[in-house]
């Protein structure tokens, strides 16, 4: 480890590694943009898991997006090894001058050693204090205890790049195909832009989900007030079953798109909504990236780290639960979080109404 000052004017190519889930990758999007803003001559590549590539597919600052497919292993060791070697050779041909590793994943550290860039940087993780990690990177930094976006940007600060507030926004472009599909879909359903509320009840982690009966009561109240509601869900049996229970018996005022949209299409959809309601999950970060006002419910996870970023929003968390955020898999491993289940539909409705009223006031003043 050297921590020498980096002369970016002499660099040509940078690789940013983010091997995590969809939301994590999206929350790293400002790193690409800020780096490009400060040094436009750089070619900035990304390395992510294949299933998360949509989060950076149309990012204007990304030159090339490389992917690791976790399904390679299912095809056998020889097939997987061939794919890994092909990826490694592709990365070697890019001849990176700098690698920014944004997680504690060992694969990123191994790639730094194999690719041998002049500079490499990672966080100085408490659980990565061994010789291998510390001698892999030329620069290590200690991230602050604040929002994940800021923690990602700490990698740039450690290299004397200071992000400005107006360049820290999440960057997500759905692309023309997704935008066109949603435009035609909304027209076919006679739904106007800003004329519906988008609700995404599910999460891959059940302990982050609100009580089904509360979501159902909330949706029925909205429809009773004359609102149009669009519900989405991932094409996952657990989420689809959840949505089925929530909307059971609701015959009018609701469009169920559960399992029918990819994440870019979901982004295009939520960009047209007047409001988004959800829990701590990737679609909530997508709504924030699309600047859709949102209300999000938090339970075991920490909103100071994972809350909506630079968007009009309200965060609702269980009052009176001193144990949160616990980051546990539900209370006593039950997959059910009491701090979330105690939140009432009326509480969420009030938060949404207050947020929308404040926005109306802001518009009238401006």
Tell me: do 219 and 303 sit in the same domain. Answer: yes
Tell me: do 37 and 131 sit in the same domain. Answer: yes
> Is the per-residue pLDDT at 1 higher than 80?
no
> Is the per-residue pLDDT at 365 higher than 90?
no
Give the model's pLDDT for residue 366: 63
- Going by the DSSP 8-state scheme, the letter that residue 195 receives in this structure is -
pLDDT, tens only, 289-332: 999 999 999 999 999 999 999 999 999 998 789 899 999 999 98
Whether 3 is in a domain gets the answer no
> Is the per-residue pLDDT at 79 higher than 90?
yes
pLDDT over 70 for what percent of the chain?
Answer: 99
pLDDT, tens only, 161-179: 999 999 999 999 999 999 9
Average pLDDT over residues 28-38: 98
Of 92, 144, 128, nearest to 113 by C-alpha is 92
pLDDT over 90 for what percent of the chain?
Answer: 91
- Going by the DSSP 8-state scheme, the letter that residue 275 receives in this structure is E
> Is the per-residue pLDDT at 3 higher than 80?
no
Tell me: do 193 and 116 sit in the same domain. Answer: no
Tell me: do 188 and 144 sit in the same domain. Answer: no
Domain stops at, among 110, 132, 167: 167
**Collapsing DSSP states into helix, strand and coil, what is residue 81?**
helix
42 vs 5, more confident: 42
Give the model's pLDDT for residue 363: 76
Q: What is the CATH number of the domain that holds 87?
A: 3.40.50.2000
Give the model's pLDDT for residue 193: 96
Tell me: do 335 and 214 sit in the same domain. Answer: yes
| Confidence band, pLDDT 50/70/90 cuts, at residue 361 | confident
Tell me: do 22 and 133 sit in the same domain. Answer: yes
> Is the per-residue pLDDT at 348 higher than 70?
yes
Cβ 256 vs Cβ 179: under 8 Å: no
- The alpha carbon torsion through 58, 61, 63, 67 (nearest 10 deg) reads -60
> Is the per-residue pLDDT at 2 higher than 70?
no
Tell me: do 233 and 154 sit in the same domain. Answer: no
Domain count, the chain: 2
Count of alpha carbons within 13 angstroms of residue 115, beta-carbon side: 32
Tell me: do 114 and 146 sit in the same domain. Answer: yes
Give the model's pLDDT for residue 157: 97
> Is the per-residue pLDDT at 181 higher than 90?
yes
Strand order in the sheet with 43-49: 65-68, 43-49, 13-17, 98-101, 119-123, 139-141
pLDDT, tens only, 5-25: 999 999 999 999 999 999 999
The encoded tokens of residue 84 equal 């890994």
Tell me: do 146 and 198 sit in the same domain. Answer: no
Whether 122 is in a domain gets the answer yes
Strands (DSSP E) contained in the chain are 13-17, 43-49, 65-68, 98-101, 119-123, 139-141, 197-200, 229-231, 254-256, 275-279, 294-298, 313-317
- What range does the domain containing 244 cover? 176-365
Mean pLDDT of the chain: 95
Tell me: do 152 and 207 sit in the same domain. Answer: no
pLDDT, tens only, 231-281: 999 999 999 999 999 999 998 999 999 999 999 999 999 999 999 999 999
């Amino acid at each position: 480890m050297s921590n020498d000052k980096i002369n970016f004017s002499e660099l040509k190519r940078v690789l940013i590694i983010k091997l995590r889930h969809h939301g994590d990758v999206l929350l790293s999007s400002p790193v690409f943009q800020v780096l490009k803003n400060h040094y436009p001559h750089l070619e900035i590549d990304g390395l992510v898991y294949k299933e998360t590539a949509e989060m950076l597919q149309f990012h204007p600052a990304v030159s090339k997006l490389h992917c690791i497919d976790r399904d390679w292993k299912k095809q056998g060791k020889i097939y997987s090894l061939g794919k890994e070697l092909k990826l490694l050779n592709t990365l070697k041909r890019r001849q990176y001058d700098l690698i920014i590793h944004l997680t504690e994943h060992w694969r990123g550290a191994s790639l730094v050693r194999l690719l041998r860039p002049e500079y490499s940087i990672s966080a100085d993780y408490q659980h990565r204090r061994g010789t291998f990690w510390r001698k892999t990177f030329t620069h290590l930094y200690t991230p602050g205890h604040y929002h994940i976006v800021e923690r990602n940007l700490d990698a740039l600060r450690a290299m004397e790049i200071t992000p400005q507030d107006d360049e820290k926004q999440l960057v997500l472009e759905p692309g023309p195909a997704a935008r066109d599909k949603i435009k035609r879909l909304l027209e076919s359903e006679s739904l106007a832009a800003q004329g519906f509320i988008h609700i995404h009840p599910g999460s891959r982690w059940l302990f982050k989900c609100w009580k089904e009966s509360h979501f159902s009561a909330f949706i029925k109240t909205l429809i009773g007030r004359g609102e149009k509601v669009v519900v989405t869900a991932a094409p996952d049996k657990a989420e689809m079953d959840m949505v089925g229970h929530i909307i059971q018996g609701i015959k009018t005022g609701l469009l169920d798109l559960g399992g029918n949209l990819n994440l870019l299409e979901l982004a295009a959809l939520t960009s047209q909504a007047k409001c988004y309601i959800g829990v701590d999950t990737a679609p909530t970060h997508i709504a924030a990236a699309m600047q859709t006002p949102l209300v999000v419910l938090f339970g075991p996870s920490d909103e100071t780290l994972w809350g909506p970023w630079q968007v009009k929003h309200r965060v609702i968390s269980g009052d009176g639960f001193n144990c949160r955020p616990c980051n546990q898999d539900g209370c006593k491993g039950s997959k059910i979080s009491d701090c979330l289940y105690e939140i009432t539909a009326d509480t969420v409705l009030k938060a949404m109404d207050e947020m929308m009223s404040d926005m109306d006031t802001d518009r009238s003043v401006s």
